[in-house]
Amino acid sequence: MRKKKNERPPSARQKMINLMYIVLLAMLAMNVSSDVLNGFSIVEDSLSKSTVNSTLQNQAVLREFAQQDSINHEKVGEWYAKAVEVQAMSDSLYDFAEQLKKLIAIEADGENAMVDDIRNRDDLEAATQVMLNPKRGKGQELFNAINSYRDHILAMVDDETQSEIIKANFSTQVPLKVGSLGKNWQEYNFENMPVAAAVTLLTKLQNDVRYAEGEVLHTLVKNIDVGDLRVNAINAYVIPTSQNVVQGSNFSARIIMAAVDSTARPAIYIDGKKIDSEDGWYQIACNKTGDYTLNGYMELQSGTGVIRRDFSQKYSVVSPLATVSATMMNVLYAGYDNPVSISVPGVPSNMISASIKGGNGTIRTSGNGFIVKPEKVGQDIVIAVTANQEGRRQSMGDYTFKVRQLPDPQPFIEYVDENGTTKRYRGGEPLPKKYLLSADGIVAAIDDGLLNIGFKVVSFECTFFDNRGDAVPELSDGVHFSARQKKNFNALGRGKRFYIQRVKAIGPDGIERVLTYPLEVIIN
């Protein structure tokens, strides 16, 4: 264990947490493709590796605690007992999360399911059943366990910055945004969540547990004489800025030896070659994807001779990965401003740029997202994504969308009820005559719960039936009911009906169309 003289730099685990939030938010607004599911696998593997490293470090601290407790129980015993308590709490929540991952995997793949090799990663029902089932759902139990763990851990952390990080990591508050209203924490996180996302979210929780456990252990170390615990324990350490590197960027790490005299600089050797670095920083270009290991050793001249300590640090180089999704639909419509969400794991939104390759449209920023407006129907549109990486622009991939013509809208009679609420009559049920008489004309729109796109009505026709049953068509006054149409409305009794048909409307794409299906109006 080392005494912390300064605040430790953000770890790879903390950066991965930020990455997860970005990816999960993007997932809420899209149908899950195999590429995105593979992206979750990459994130899951990286989180698991980070969690293993944190676990090993925490175990090393506890072993050192146990050794020093056996040497001087009077001095160390109180803090060692708290360290063991923290370990037990952390293991309990960690194991519960692991149990939930297994249950979700079984729900998706059956009794022989393996968490690290789930076949039905896009299953939207498994997580919902395991976490939210009224009889056997585990969501409330997890919610309570997280709250209890957070409160106990915060009572042992005295650093304000670390307390805020832990509060954020274990927050069970539901964000105030579209899609979250009316949902509790467990519904917000697991309802209709793909298996890949749910399992990754639980792995993130395990990662957070090991991080919080480590912070408390280091806090407990500060309460005793750290020097007593570090006697004859001089070791070499590699501190990377990130264990996951995007292809084309650099792997950076600081290589240090703990408990050394600041006036005595150790010599650093990488793959047998001495490197020239006064403060221990080392950097190498990463141009190929894969898993790599940084091997080397450090030498320090002491009064008794040369002290040598070996070190080894694994890191992964991954391909550039961006998430591009149309936020309201699965395809892009020509002549229409399509909202699109674009995110890159680990990259702030203001550092992301996008352009259209090969023409056929435009793209512009809008709030926290982008607006894409294709021009030609039937010709794919390609969105090229770039991100600012270490001061330079780097490609994050090209993403192709089909371009379709906007579908035909549906005609409505829009009226205001007794409560002052604007409603749309779609036919199929009786309409109070007073609402018909109060309406000025009709409207047309694509209004299916997902899209809400208004069209400009040019003209329409109302077809009535006389006493002999003959059809009597009456033309509108543009978008408004004509005087002759209104006269026929007044003559209609309860149970009578007429039809609105041959509706001409122009959409935001500028295309005029005649709507195929009539609107049947039944008078009440």
**What does the pLDDT look like over 396-427, one tens digit per residue?**
888 889 999 998 999 999 999 999 999 999 99
Q: Please list, in sequence order, all residues whose beta carbon lies within 8 angstroms of the beta carbon of residue 64, skipping any fewer than 6 positions away.
A: 1, 229, 233
Distance CA 94, CA 190 (A): 18
CATH topology of 234-319 equal to that of 323-404? yes
Distance CA 517, CA 426 (A): 12
Question: What pTM was estimated for this model as a whole?
Answer: 0.40
For the domain 323-404, what is the CATH code?
2.60.40.60
Judged against a pLDDT cut of 60, whether residue 276 lies above it is answered with yes
DSSP letters, 70-107, are HH-HHHHHHHHHHHHHHHHHHHHHHHHHHHHHHHHHHH
8 A C-beta contact, residue 352 and residue 320: no
Alpha-carbon dihedral sign for residues 391, 349, 283, 212:
positive
Judged against a pLDDT cut of 60, whether residue 495 lies above it is answered with yes
Judged against a pLDDT cut of 70, whether residue 323 lies above it is answered with no
> Which of residues 452 and 462 earns the better pLDDT score?
462
CA-nearest of 271, 251, 362, 399 to 315 is 251
Domain coordinates in residue numbering, the chain: 1-227, 234-319, 323-404, 410-523
Length of the chain: 524
Judged against a pLDDT cut of 90, whether residue 355 lies above it is answered with yes
> Which of residues 44 and 413 earns the better pLDDT score?
413
Judged against a pLDDT cut of 60, whether residue 373 lies above it is answered with yes
> Which of residues 48 and 318 earns the better pLDDT score?
48
Distance CA 42, CA 52 (A): 16
Judged against a pLDDT cut of 90, whether residue 242 lies above it is answered with no
Token pair for 509: 């794409």
Judged against a pLDDT cut of 80, whether residue 455 lies above it is answered with yes
Distance CA 431, CA 442 (A): 14
Q: What is the CA radius of gyration of the chain?
A: 32
Task: Give the three-state DSSP class for 324.
Answer: strand
Token pair for 269: 């050797």
Mean pLDDT of the residues in the chain: 82
pLDDT number for residue 227: 38
Q: Please list, in sequence order, all residues whose beta carbon lies within 8 angstroms of the beta carbon of residue 182, skipping any fewer than 6 positions away.
A: none
Judged against a pLDDT cut of 90, whether residue 67 lies above it is answered with no
Superfamily assignment of 234-319 in CATH? Immunoglobulins (2.60.40.10)
Q: Which of 34-38, 189-193, 449-453, 488-492 has the highest mean pLDDT?
A: 488-492
Token pair for 224: 């005793």
Least confident of 96-100, 227-231, 364-368: 227-231
Judged against a pLDDT cut of 90, whether residue 4 lies above it is answered with no
* β-strands 430-431, 519-523 pairing: parallel
Residue with tokens 């980070």: 50
pLDDT number for residue 284: 81
